[in-house]
A and B are shown apart, each in its own frame.
Chain A
């Protein structure tokens, strides 16, 4: 049951939670650093992080 709950929340591979965590940390760091472009274009950085995470999770099965 615990293993199924872990799979439900974190998924079948550690690559996804790891990739999402790296994307989040990068976003938090850039938000804190506050470069001008972040508020206009930061979303595309996060989208890139999500796409890279997906690609990595598909390579490591």
Chain B
């Protein structure tokens, strides 16, 4: 489990920062403050324990220790850590939810069901 501490070069939105609107980027980002709107990031997004995102997220990968309210789409993975709060629908090839995380919403991953089970599923 990667810790909340970012790599030294990672861009950080500090605790007292609030962003409203669309946030786009192509590098890793650590959010300790607040983002409202939407985030589109071709990189790794870390929501620190103090971080609050009220936004729809489209990222490469994300690690939530804080709070996210909005839908999350990740091209790689979504990790919801212990103590995190996520309310929204999440979609990624890999979704990891740790014990102690709080999550409300739908999860969509690729599920390769065995032959015969996939049939007859309305989903």
Judge: A and B partners, yes or no: no
**Chain B contacts to A: CB under 8 angstroms:** none
**Chain A contacts to B: CB under 8 angstroms:** none
